[in-house]
């Protein structure tokens, strides 16, 4: 059986810059305490008023650069995410397959409404090419989120209900193909677990539960802020 490494939260560039800003402020605070309480006033390396002005100006410039870099990165990721969403809506191929899948599921819902004892699976008779295309699109979105190339908040607001509907309808088909190759749709399964916590998660056939280190938990918390 195929195996893979357990999925872990990505380390965004803005996260690393945030830790850098925190480190700079902590070191500056420690330096100030050292100067005020441990360094005698009559020694050469005790800073004078003019030197403190230069020190504060340098720290302000460093912090300003870090904050500007964080804002720039986040705005760039959001713009890239918006472009990705717009390109999918403007893609004739995507919209054609999406309309085909939507029409199939609507017809299934209507048949099930008329016959509650219907034993037919939602994906019976579905266009497999269209189904794979739509699921692969969500897998691509999930990979982009995990790699911090796409903004998860924007995508969750835009696609959560669509993702939930598609996974609910194609659950049996997804789990069937994952029995053959557990690597298929692993990012989609993880994204569905996080976004649709009120829904039954897809079976994880390939990786043990992830045990995150304290640092990884801190990164995951920071990324969600």
Length of the chain as a residue count = 225
Enter the pTM of the model.
Answer: 0.74
For residue range 103-162, what is the model confidence (pLDDT) as tens digits?
Answer: 999 999 999 999 988 888 899 999 999 999 999 999 999 999 988 889 999 999 999 999
For residue range 17-48, what is the model confidence (pLDDT) as tens digits?
Answer: 888 999 999 999 999 888 888 877 777 677 88
Burial class (CB in 10 A: 0-12, 13-18, 19+), 195: buried
Round to whole Å and give the CA distance between 19 and 197: 30
Round to whole Å and give the CA distance between 121 and 128: 14
Round to whole Å and give the CA distance between 42 and 154: 57
Helix (H) or strand (E) holding 198: none
Helix (H) or strand (E) holding 84: helix 49-90
Look at residue 133 in the predicted model and tell me its pLDDT: 96
Round to whole Å and give the CA distance between 60 and 55: 9
For CA atoms 31, 32, 37, 40, the dihedral sign is positive
Round to whole Å and give the CA distance between 89 and 77: 19
Contact at 8 Å (CB) between 148 and 77?
A: yes
| Residue 3 in this model has a pLDDT that exceeds 70 | no
* DSSP-derived secondary structure for 108-176: HHHHHHH-TT----TTTT--HHHHHHHHHHHHHHHHHHHTTSS-HHHHHHHHHHHHHHHHHHHHHHHHH
Q: What percent of the chain has pLDDT over 70?
A: 84
């Amino acid at each position: 059986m195929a195996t893979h490494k357990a999925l872990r939260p990505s380390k965004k560039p803005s996260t690393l810059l945030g830790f850098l800003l925190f480190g700079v402020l902590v070191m500056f605070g420690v330096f100030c305490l050292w100067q005020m309480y441990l360094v005698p006033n009559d020694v050469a390396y005790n800073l004078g008023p003019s030197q403190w002005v230069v020190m504060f100006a340098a720290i302000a410039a460093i912090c300003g650069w870090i904050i500007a870099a964080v804002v720039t990165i986040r705005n760039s990721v959001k713009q890239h995410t918006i472009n990705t969403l717009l390109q999918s809506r403007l893609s004739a191929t995507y919209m054609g397959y999406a309309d085909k899948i939507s029409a199939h599921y609507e017809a299934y819902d209507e048949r099930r409404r008329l016959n509650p004892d219907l034993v037919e699976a939602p994906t019976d008779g579905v266009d497999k090419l269209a189904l794979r295309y739509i699921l692969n699109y969500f897998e691509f979105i999930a990979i982009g989120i995990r790699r911090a190339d796409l903004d998860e908040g924007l995508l969750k607001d835009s696609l959560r209900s669509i993702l939930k509907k598609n996974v609910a309808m194609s659950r049996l088909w997804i789990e069937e193909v994952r029995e053959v190759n557990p690597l298929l749709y692993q990012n989609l399964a993880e994204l569905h677990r996080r976004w649709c916590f009120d829904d039954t998660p897809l079976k994880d056939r390939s990786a043990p539960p992830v045990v995150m280190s304290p640092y990884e938990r801190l990164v995951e918390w920071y990324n969600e802020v």
